[in-house]
Structure 1
């Protein structure tokens, strides 16, 4: 099982800055993730919150709930949430950070990720496909263990 977490403002996909994030909605993304998971032979659970604490709690609970890996788009928390960073580093599941837009081609404050350093990898700028690539990698890693 893979847990897909989306952080603040990602509930506004489809209407928030469509030139940056596209016209597809969070529901479209979640449906795509579930479909890709089925193709990979894994169950995918998607959650979104605008609250840092919810994301942290879900990370803390993931292994005990039977998840084998986490895909996370922390949104703006990427750039300053040491609490989220500590939650990721304080557990044993492999995590891949994903960003829909190319954060390195945007405002300079988006160039720094405090969370990426405790993740297995970071995918940025590939749109929704980045989630699929993260899941493919995590399934591969899980099958090696």
Structure 2
């Protein structure tokens, strides 16, 4: 079975508690459960990982490469806008990468409008809450 790696970034362990106006009340566990259910329906395994450490995120991206993941979904949170280290780690991958955001980053603060990953990902999905993740999984599968 093909494996899709879902990478959750900084502060995502606080979904359900932080800024419900932007992120709703859904928890990270609920997001992962929805992704795994859809993955099962679509015939792929979804493996989720969350960290608040930039170096650990890079290490997990390297592991996705070594494990021959079929695709990578990433919601890096604030790292999206400035982490060239994570960008460089993602650039090692040769599989589809889909950038995901629950909120519409283009309708928020100016610093959130730019993604340093944009040039290397297959595409971006933002602004649809939890549905952004499910759309991202479908997009990754269609790009494989």
Coarse TM-score class (shorter-chain normalised): over 0.9
Structure 2: 5+ residue runs without aligned partners?
A: none
Aligned-partner Cα distance in 1 for 2:40–2:69: 15
Q: What's the CA shift for 1:130?
A: 1.1
Deviations 1:65-113 (A, max 9, x none): 2410000001000010011111111221210000000111111110111
TM-score (norm 2): 0.95
Structure 1: 5+ residue runs without aligned partners?
A: none
Aligned-partner Cα distance in 2 for 1:107–1:30: 27
Among 109, 112, 121, the alignment partner of 1:110 is 112
TM-score (norm 1): 0.94
CA RMSD of aligned residues (A): 0.9
Among 20, 23, 30, the alignment partner of 1:21 is 23
Is this contact kept in 1: 2:65–2:92, CA < 8 A? no
Stretches of 4+ aligned residues off by more than 4 angstroms = none
Aligned-partner Cα distance in 1 for 2:50–2:140: 20
